[in-house]
Structure 1
Amino acid sequence: MPTRRTLLRSIAAGAGAAALGIPGAQAFAGTAAAPSPREVDLRPGSTGSEVTAMQHLLTEYGHKTSADGYYGPVTEKSVAKFQGAHSLVKDGWAGPLTMKKMLDNGKATAEQGSDNRGAVRAAQTLLVERGYEMAVDGDFGPLTSSSVEKYQSTCKLKASGTVDHTTWTFLFSPPRKPGPGPVDGKAVLVAQSGSGLSTWAYDCGPAAFVSVQLRLGRKPGKWTDVAHRGDAIDYARRTVLRMTDDTRGTGQIGDEVGLVAGFERIGVDRAGTGGFDDALSTVRAGGVSMLGGDLAVCAEWNGRSTGSTLHWIALLDHSAESGEYQVADSSSKHNKLVWVTSGQLAAFARTWGASVCLK
C-alpha cells in the first residue's frame, strides 16, 4: 500500500489523474488560465474618461477631486495625498504601483448594491466610454451589472458582474482591437475661422492636433461638434499642450518634441518626430502626420492670401490613385479639407519641413 508521500508524488506527476480514469495529459485540459491584470499608468497632463474615473475613485478614497477629465495640478495633489496615505512615493504620478493600490482594494470593488458611489461612478464612466449606455449616477443597478458582465465576457474574464481588480484594469486599459492600422476616425477640418477664438495667434498647432485626434478615432477634450471647435482647440492649447496666450510653447513650430509629449499625455504612444519625407511616408503607410511649413504657400489651396509665417497642417490620408494627400489646414478660407500634391507640400515644407508622425 503506497504511503501518503508516495501518493502525493504520484498525483503531482499525473498518475493520480490516471487512477481516477482520466489520462494524465488531459487531466486539466480545457482549464484556461484567467487573463492577468493589465498595467494601468495615468500621467499628469492626460485627459479623457480614464482620468475622470480615477478622479471619482480619489473622491471615494476621501480626496475630493473634481471629475473634469483633466489630470492637472489639483488632481496631482489628490494623487499625492492618496500615495501618502498608502505608503507610496508622493510624486503625484498615478503609475502602475499607485493604480494597483487604488484598484486592488475592497473600497474600489463595485457590484450590485454597492454603496461606494464614487467607485460605481468610475466604473460607469469607463463602461460608457467602452460603448455601454447608462447614466453615471453612482447607482449600481441591474443595467450596470449586466453591462459589466457583457464587458467581462468580451475580455474573456469571468462574467461575475462585479468590478474587481482585474476587471478595473481591463476597463482602464482595454486590449487593443486588431485593425488595418491606427487611422479609424473621420477626416475633419478643425478650422480656426469661425471658431469663436479671440485670436488666431499660435492656434494652428492645437487645431491640427485636434484634427489628428479625430482621425485617430479619439474624442478630443471639450469636443462636441465642428461648430464648437474653438472649445476643443483652446482646451488642447491650454491643457494638453500647455500653452499660454503670451508664449509660443508646445504646439508651435520648433517644438515637435513638445507635440509628441502632448500625444503621449492623451495616451497615443506611437508619435515621433521627423521631416518632410517621414511625414509623407507615414501617411502612405496608413498613419497620420502634422507637417510644418510656410503659411503663404497654403494660399494655393486654401483660398486665403496670407503673409509668410510658420504654420502647422495635418495630413490625414493618401490616395494611391491620384498620388495626392488629404490636408486639414486650419487657415482654410472655405472651411473644407483639400487634396494636394506632394509638390505643393514640398513647397510648403521648404521653409521648415518639421513633422510629427503617428504610425
Structure 2
Amino acid sequence: MPTRRILLRSIAAGAGATALAVAASQAFGETVSGPSPRKVGLKPGAMGSEVAALQYLLTAYGYKTSADGDYGPLTEKSVAKFQGARGLVKDGWAGPLTMKKMLDSGKVAAKSGWGNRSTVRAVQSLLVGLGYEMAVDGDFGPLTSAGVEKYQSKQKLTASGTVDYTTWTYMFSPPTKPGTGLRKGPAVLVAQSGSGLSTWAYDCGPAAFVALQLRMGRKPGKWTDVARRGDAINYARRTVLGMTDNTRGTGQIRDEAGLVAGFKRLGVDQARTGGLDAALSAVRAGGVSMLGGDLAVCARWNGRATGSTLHWIALLDYSARSGKYQVADSSSKHNELVWVTSGQLASFARTWGDSVCVE
C-alpha cells in the first residue's frame, strides 16, 4: 500500500505535467476554434434584402447588377458570369459553392473605411434586413461599424467590425432563435366574411389583430369562438383600436402606430412597426406579425379573384423545413390557413409593405 509521501509525490508530478502541457499549448499558439460558417444559398425567384446584397456583391466583383431585391433573369446572367470566371457550373443559381467563392475572399472583407461602396451596400442591406436602422449609402462609417459589431456579438462571433467569411454567412443565413414563448395559442383563421358585421369588408385589420391575440395565447375581448367572431372583431375595432367610423376608407386601419398602440393597451410592449424584412424576421424568431399589402395578390393564394386594395394579413408561424410562413388571411374563401413563400409575401407587400411585428 503506498505511503502518504509517495502519493504526494505522484500528485505533484501530475500537476507538473499539467503545467508543462498548458505551457506547451500556449507556446504553440493553440486556440479554441470559433463558430463554423453557415451554409448560404439563393435561387432564382427569391426576393428580399439577401438578394439585394447578392446583387451589390456581383456589382462589386465587376458584374453590374441592379439591386432591386428580385432574383430575376438579369441576376441569373450575372451569377452565371461570376461562376464561369471561377470554373463553376454556369447555371445562374447562387448555391453554396458559388456563395462560398463570393464570400470567402479578401475582396469583400469589408471594414471601417472600406472603399468599394457596392460591397458596403451589401453589408448595409443585410443589416437593415436584420432590423438595424441605417442608410444603404455605401459609406462604412461609425453606424455601420457599430451594427456589424453588435450583430457579431449577438451571434457569439468575434466583434472585430470586419465582415469576414463567417460573418457574411451569418448575415445571409442568420440562425433562427429558439421560440420566445410568444406563440402559445392556436393558429386560427378569423375570417371577415360571415362575421355578421355590415362593414366586414373593411375589417381586415381588426380580424388580423384578433388572430394574433389568439396565437399569443390571449383571449380577445368578447371572444367566444370562431362562429361568433364578429363580436370580437367589432370590440377590437371600437375599443382597443379606436376605429369608430364605419364608412368606406376611414373604417380601415392605415396607421401602423395605431396598431402598436392597440397592442400596448393589451399589455404587449414588444410591438413595433417595420417593413417586409422586419415582419419575416420577427416570425422566424418565434414572434408574430401583421403585414400590409395588396388584396389582389393574396386572393390568388386561396382561389379568389378580386381587385387591388390595401389589406392586412396575420403571419402566425414559420417552417424552417419548407421555408414557408403560415398566414391567416381574413379574406380567405376557404376556412383554412395557408402556407406561403417569402417571394409570395414580397409580391403581396410590394404595394404597401408596412408591418407590425411582435417579438
TM (norm. structure 1) is 0.51
Give 3-state SS (helix, strand or coil) of 2:57's partner.
helix
Correspondence for 2:19: 21
Give 3-state SS (helix, strand or coil) of 2:144's partner.
helix
Correspondence for 1:270: 321
Correspondence for 2:337: 315
1:1-359 alignment, distance < 5 Å: 18=16, 21-22=19-20, 31-179=31-179, 217=282, 226=292, 229-230=293-294, 234=297, 251=301, 269-271=320-322, 288=326, 311-312=333-334, 314-315=336-337
- The one-letter code of the counterpart of 1:75 is T
Cα 1:313–1:54, aligned 2, differ >3 Å: closer, same or farther? farther
How many Å apart are 1:52 and its aligned residue? 0.8
Q: CA RMSD in A?
A: 4.7
Segments of structure 1 that go 5 or more residues without pairing to the other structure are: 1-14, 195-210, 238-247, 254-266, 274-286, 292-297, 303-309, 317-359
Give 3-state SS (helix, strand or coil) of 2:337's partner.
strand
- Superposed CA deviations along residues 53-110 of structure 1, whole A, max 9, x for unmatched, are 1011011111111111111111111111111111110001000000000101122111
Correspondence for 1:241: none
Cα 1:271–1:23, aligned 2, differ >3 Å: closer, same or farther? closer
Give 3-state SS (helix, strand or coil) of 2:44's partner.
coil
How many Å apart are 1:271 and its aligned residue? 4.0
Number of aligned pairs? 225
How many Å apart are 1:252 and its aligned residue? 6.1
- The one-letter code of the counterpart of 2:19 is G
For the residues of structure 2 that align with 1:135 and 1:190, how far apart are their CA atoms?
Answer: 38
Give 3-state SS (helix, strand or coil) of 2:82's partner.
helix
For the residues of structure 2 that align with 1:53 and 1:188, how far apart are their CA atoms?
Answer: 35
How many Å apart are 1:217 and its aligned residue? 4.0
Give 3-state SS (helix, strand or coil) of 1:136's partner.
coil
How many Å apart are 1:224 and its aligned residue? 10
TM (norm. structure 2) is 0.51
- The one-letter code of the counterpart of 2:337 is L
Contact residue 124 and residue 144 of structure 2 kept, 8 A: yes
Cα 1:18–1:167, aligned 2, differ >3 Å: closer, same or farther? farther
Percent of aligned positions that are identical: 54
Correspondence for 2:308: none
How many Å apart are 1:117 and its aligned residue? 0.8
Contact residue 189 and residue 337 of structure 2 kept, 8 A: no
Give 3-state SS (helix, strand or coil) of 1:270's partner.
coil
- Superposed CA deviations along residues 96-137 of structure 1, whole A, max 9, x for unmatched, are 000000101122111111111111000011112222221111
Give 3-state SS (helix, strand or coil) of 2:19's partner.
coil
- The one-letter code of the counterpart of 1:46 is A
How many Å apart are 1:21 and its aligned residue? 3.0
